[in-house]
Amino acid sequence: MTEQYLSGKRALVTGAGQGMGTCHARALAARGAFVVCADRTITPSLNELAAEINGTASGFDVCDADAARAAASPEATGPIDVLVLNHAYMSMGDFLDYDEDDWWRVVETNLTGTRNVLHAVLPGMPEGSRIVVISSEWGITGWPEATAYAASKSGLVSLVKTLARELAPRRIAVNALAPGVISTPQLQVDASAAGVPLEEMIDRYASEIPARRVGQPEEVAQAVALLADPTLGAMTGQTIQINGAALRCRV
C-alpha cells in the first residue's frame, strides 16, 4: 500500500486534463491528498479524473491573472499544501520567422501563467507546503526551433531558485523538474514540426537517449510525489532531471 503521507493535505495541479498533469494528480491522490484538478476548461475527461480520485475539477486560464486569482485563491480552494505547476504551451518554428503573437502566448502561458497561479495560491499556503514547477530539459539545453519554449522553461528554473530562497523562512520548499522527452500529447507538436508520424518522432528521440526509450508520464509523477513529501524540507531550490541519462545535471 502506498504511504499516505499527504493525508489531510490539499493539492492543486494545473494542466491536469491530460498527459503528465493527469498522472501527477493521481500520484498525489494515491498518497492521500485531496486534489484540485485544474485546466483551462472543465472537460468531461477532467471531471472523470476528479471523480476517479475523489477530488474536484477547476477551469481557468493561467494567463488571466484575475481568473487565476478567482479560481485558485484560498477562498476558492481552501489553503493549498502542494502546488504542482504543470501547465504548458509549445509551438515550434525558426527564430527569425517565429510568429510574434505565438512567442508571447508561449511565454505568457509557461512563465507569466506560473507567476499568476503563484500569486493566487501563495498567500494562503501554510508553513511546510511544497511547490513543484515542471520545467523541461530544453530549458536547460535549449532546442532548435523551440526558442520561446526553451526560454520560458529556463525562466522557470531561475524562478524556482529565487523563490526557494525567498520562501525558505516559511519552510515552503520550491523545486523544479526538468523532464526530457516524455510520451505525452505534446510530442505531436514535435512530430508535426518535423513532418513525420508521431511514432517515427518517438523512435528518433529514443535512438538519441542512452536508455533507448522516451520517458513515461507516470515516472515524472513519481518524482512529483517525492518532492511533495513533507519530510523532505531541506530539498529546495533544486532542478531534478528525468531524461534516461541524456543529460548530466548542470543546474
pTM, entire model: 0.93
- Residues that are catalytic: 149
Q: For the segment 123-154, what is each residue's pLDDT rounded down to a tens digit?
A: 999 999 999 999 999 899 998 999 999 999 99
Angle at 16 between CA 14 and CA 17, to 5 degrees: 130
**Could you give the 3-state DSSP secondary structure of residue 27?**
helix
Query: What string of H, E and C letters represents the secondary structure of 35-56?
Result: EEEEECCCCHHHHHHHHHCCCE
Q: Strands 130-134 and 34-39, how do they pair?
A: unpaired
Alpha-carbon torsion (71, 226, 232, 33), positive or negative: positive
Three-class SS of residue 85?
Answer: strand
Domains of the chain: 10-180+215-242 (3.40.50.720)
Rounded CA-CA distance 157/163 in Å is 10
Band of residue 248 on the pLDDT scale cut at 50, 70, 90: low
Distance in angstroms (rounded) separating the CA atoms of residues 81 and 151: 29
pLDDT in tens, 225-241: 999 999 999 999 999 99
**57 or 211: which carries more pLDDT confidence?**
57
Show the cell assigned to 43.
472537460
pLDDT at 249: 62
- Predicted confidence at residue 251, as pLDDT, reads 62
State how far the Cα of 185 lies from the Cα of 196, in Å rounded to an integer: 15
- Above 80 in pLDDT, residue 245? no
Q: pLDDT, tens digit, for every residue of 6-18? A: 999 999 999 999 9
How far apart CA 191 and CA 197 sit, in angstroms, is 6
Q: pLDDT grade, residue 250 (50/70/90)?
A: low
Q: Which residues of 83-106 are buried (b: 16+ CB within 10 A; e: fewer)?
A: bbbbbbbbbbeeeeebeeeebebb
Percent of the chain scoring above 90 in pLDDT: 80
